Amino acid sequence: MKPKILSALLMLIVFSVPSFSLVSYGGDKMPEGFVDIQDVIPQIQLDIRYFGQHNFVGQKVDGYLAPKCILTREAASALFNVQKELETFSISLKVYDCYRPQRAVDHFVRWAKDIDDTKTKKEFYPTVDKRNLFKDGYIDSKSSHSRGSSVDLTIVALPAAQQEKYTPGQKLQECILPANKRFGDNSIDMGTGFDCFHELSHTANKDTGVQQRINRMLLKTLMEKHGFKNYDLEWWHFTLKNEPYPDTYFNFPID
């Protein structure tokens, strides 16, 4: 067979073979490598936003059957070390979200594509056109949370003040307003509310106040000391650097 014909055939074979993703998906049961954070850190504060209606979707999110924080054992152990350091100063971690089922991420995607549903815009994305949520990187079809070693969190002073309760239908306030004007959070002031789709949420944003930048740096420094890395567009989001399942997106429900 002539070299040119052989080369063409080889190219045809190569490009005819279907490509396979390196990403894998877990099943519907929690693997043994995952733990409930309260079994590791009983005193940690929880405010699991996607279990309720006070979130950017405006309703309980698919897969959240209980207000729990589930993490890989490795991430929970690292978080324990952060908590231990904070408690020496009478402060504590407060968690908004931990492991997130893929079905929850799919729920976010469906919501984002429904551009007519803007009932939470005033609080969570007051300056962003919903049509740009994918383009601007606020919503994606995959989340590191589904790998089980990412966590959204903040810091609260102890004893923790009472957390404001959200009543469905109540008037919403912009997440970029000063702390005393936005939705009440019993955490120290980080400059914006949680899940605030805005440039002020960028960890190193210099337009926040001095104290807010100090508070963010305290959280970031301690989390990095114990093996986490920050997502620079969200002051609250951290992922364990040596996560045990870097290519697996789990879908078991939180119950």
**Residues annotated catalytic, as ranges:** 234
If you write DSSP's letter for every residue of 198-222 in order, what string do you get? SGGGSTT-TTS-HHHHHHHHHHHHH
Q: What CA–CA distance (Å, rounded) separates 62 from 78?
A: 28
Amino acid at 78: A
Where does 98-215 show beta strands of DSSP type E?
150-157
**CB contact at 8 A, 138 and 105:** no
- The SS3 call for residue 50 is helix
All residues at 6 or more sequence positions from 249 whose CB lies less than 8 Å from its CB, including other chains:
23, 24, 25, 26, 102, 142, 143, 146, 147
**CB contact at 8 A, 227 and 240:** yes
Angle (deg, nearest 10), helices 73-87 and 210-225: 130
How many Cβ atoms from other residues are within 10 Å of residue 82's Cβ? 25
With CA atoms as reference, report the closest residue to 80 among 229, 191, 226.
Answer: 226
Q: Positive or negative, the Cα torsion across 155, 159, 161, 162?
A: positive
